[in-house]
Amino acid sequence: MWFFPPSKKPTPSEYAVLVVSSSILFIVVGVVALVFAIRAPESKHEAAAALAQRGYWCLGIGVGIALVYWLYRRLKEY
């Protein structure tokens, strides 16, 4: 059951805004995580290593979303 049904079908540009903003969000979170991991004190090495791994994952997901969307837009033209 939809609580707030859309009044009209989303346009391709609205989908583009959603995809680009989610990609940018993942990339920003990944960069922030890596900065915090680099600046972590030596006593918290394990936590910093785990944070760096999650930061790399976020960067990879954000770049992957952008790459798949770019590829979709590129192949959609033909």
- Average pLDDT of the segment spanning 10-27: 93
The mean pLDDT value of the chain amounts to 91
User: Looking at the predicted structure, is the pLDDT value of residue 1 above 60?
Assistant: no
Q: What is the model's pTM?
A: 0.84
The domain segmentation of the chain, as residue ranges, is 12-76
pLDDT of the residue at 24: 98
Give me the DSSP letters along 10-60: PPHHHHHHHHHHHHHHHHHHHHHHHHHHHHS-GGGHHHHHHHHHHHHHHHH
